[in-house]
Amino acid sequence: MKNKFYTIIVVASMLVSCAGELDQTPNTETTSADVYTSVANYKAVLAKLYASFVICGQEKGGGNADISSNSGYDYMRCYFNLQEAGTDELASTWLEGDNMTNISYLSWDDSDPWVSDTYYHIYYTITLCNEFLRNSTDNKISSFTTDEQTVIRQYAAEARFLRALAYYHAMDLYRNIPFVTETDPVGAYTPPRYTASQIFSYIESELKDIEDALPDKNDCVYGHAPKAAAWALLAKLYLNAEVYTGEDHYTDCITYCNKIIKDGYSLNSNYQALFNADNNKRTNEIIFPLCVDAEHTMSWGATTYIVCGAMSSTSDYENPADYGVTSGWGSFRVRGEISALFEDGDQRALFFTEGQTQYLDELDNQSDGYLVTKWTNLTDAGETASNTGSDGVNTDYPMFRLSDVYLMLAESVLRGGTGATKSDALGYVNTIRERAYGSTAGNINDNKLTLSFILNERGRELYWECTRRTDLIRYGEFTTSDYIWQWKGGVKDGTSVDSKYNIYPIPATELSANPNLHNENY
């Protein structure tokens, strides 16, 4: 079984209901004193921290749920919807049934269930990490042997990375957010509101502090975070620094992209193999994955949602079995503006078009918009990896990939960062395009390497990988009239919307519980 790291999951259920309760000890049948008694138990708890991104309960498919929520889906299903559904990359089908209308039309408020669910999943993960770290101090682990302490300290560094990742998601989505760490009191404690600049500085310092404590690429057990995962998160933080803090860090972004490139990563020769059920073998390009396994981390969210949701439930032409899926859910398609970015010969254009229109007369019509076949539940041998009808998929989620690093470096060069040249940037972009075309036919010259080209290339390379909303905001195109796509703002021809929609609101339930919090413009 490929994802053995996730086979040990500690029972650590907790109801997160308000900001004042974000830092509770998880409700367990035993106390922390009983759990943190061996390195094996620390590993089990660490596994739960990683798995909190892709499952939402202690039992198959989310049974015995970790938190109460409006929808009950996992972290990554929620995050995917908030990053993709309101952009030009995705057209949701069940707008009312899935409560996706406001997300799709950029018209949500602080009572939206997806906005709330995502927020609470993020803070549930942060809470688990805090509790792990409370039990990983030098004093707490003093009774262990020297070798055991070394192992636990590495686990603690990984927990800090996962907490930094969750805080990055919270900052990117909600900006000014409650902040709590393992050093804060447990119980009746009201977290302060940190600005995005404060959270930025915290994430930056955390990642720099732990990078040497994380394992090297070649020593890292699959599913754990290596040093390069911290570097990739730093690169993303720096790429978007102007949005978060008003100050650019493009040179810093290039510095950390170079660290990853020099660490020995390389592009996988087959683009689609990065998104199939054997993608755990692509450690040459995938820097950090979230493991999804039909036996041990079975979920109706995460990649099961992406793979099954992309398959039509009504098409007379598409056969879900061709992609390792028992049946299609028909949850979403790609909008026409994204499919139009691809030129002939670009093998990343993984769309099923028969019986489908390219553009959308209706956002929620399954026949409007091409079907995406980028993500599958097939092995390298073309065999179905698992029964999705009962067990979900076996496809891991690549959180960070080398091609994204190449594109971050190229964009930072074009925005004035130093540490790499435009020639370097052009070389990395053309390396990506040579894979896409299987030859140099798609290579570009220096004159074509512009910021606009990079945004479009990110759309071609990274569609449905939870980058689009963040990218469009960085380019000033998410809410403005500078770029209009069909059904943006809830009208067929598209329209600009209020700039407040660049940020999701803190849920109303949090505002009522924590007087330190407030939303601008909501």
The reported pLDDT for the residue numbered 28 is 44
**Residue 511 contacts residue 519 (beta carbons within 8 Å):** yes
Structure tokens at 454: 């990079």
Q: What is the pLDDT of residue 33?
A: 79
CA 395/CA 378 separation, integer angstroms: 8
| Cβ 465 vs Cβ 402: under 8 Å | no
CB 39 within 8 A of CB 151: yes
Picking from 235, 299, 371, 378, the residue whose alpha carbon sits closest to that of residue 63 is 299
Q: How many CB atoms lie within 10 A of CB 521?
A: 9
Residue 30 has what pLDDT? 61
Contact partners, residue 482, CB within 8 Å, separation at least 6: 475, 476
Amino acid at 427: G
At the topology level of CATH, where does 4-213+504-513 sit? Answer: 1.25.40
For residue range 203-250, list pLDDT tens digits in order. Answer: 999 999 999 999 999 999 999 999 999 999 999 999 999 999 999 999
pLDDT digits (tens, 9 = 90+) for 195-210: 999 999 999 999 999 9
Question: CB count, 10 Å around CB of 166?
Answer: 24
pTM over 0.85: yes
Angle at 123 between CA 473 and CA 66, to 5 degrees: 125
Cα dihedral across residues 288, 291, 292, 293: positive or negative: positive
Contact 223, 286 (CB under 8 A): no
- The model's pLDDT over 432-464, given as tens digits with 9 standing for 90+, comes to 999 999 999 999 999 999 999 999 999 999 999
What's residue 3's pLDDT?
52
DSSP3 helix / strand / coil % (the chain, rounded to 5): 45, 5, 50
Select from 336, 377, 327, 341 the least CA-distant residue to 357.
336
Q: Which one, of 171, 117, 178, 116, lies nearest residue 517 by Cα?
A: 178
Residues of the chain with CATH 1.25.40.390: 4-213+504-513
Alpha-carbon span 175 to 170, nearest angstrom: 7
d(CA 161, CA 80): 20
Residues of the chain with pLDDT under 70: 1-30, 61, 69-70
∠ CA 365-90-68, rounded to 5°: 95
